[in-house]
Amino acid sequence: MKIQFDIEATPQELRTFFGLPDVEPLQQEMLGMIRKNMQAGIDGFDPVALMKPWLPQHLQSVETLQKTFWEAFQQGVPSTHDAHSASSPSSDSKTKSK
């Protein structure tokens, strides 16, 4: 036997239904404090320090993170040799003869 329920409700309605507290005012206050501290340049509120807990251990230094991004970007870019061979005269003559 299989029973399926489809419930259309907003997240706020579900939180109220389950009796969970409304944390939106607290969240807004905390985000305001973080934003204010970031703009003031207080130590520990720079973007790198805020992202560090969510990064894997091997990406926690900025240099390693930059190196990883650079290597990922280079894998998606064709080499200059491939670009020159694609525009060689022999490939142009094949397309012109059609």
- pLDDT tens-digit profile of 40-64? 877 777 777 777 777 777 766 777 7
Percent of the chain with pLDDT over 70: 74
Structural domain spans, the chain: 32-62
For every one of its 98 residues, what pLDDT tens digit does the chain have, with 9 covering 90 and above? 999 989 899 988 999 999 999 888 999 999 999 888 888 877 777 777 777 777 777 766 777 778 888 888 888 766 555 555 555 455 444 444 44
Give 64's contacts (C-beta < 8 A, 6+ positions apart).
58
Cα separation, 68 vs 53, whole angstroms: 18
Quick one: which H or E segment has residue 51?
helix 47-51
- Model-level pTM? 0.40
What pLDDT sits at residue 82? 52
Cα separation, 44 vs 52, whole angstroms: 10
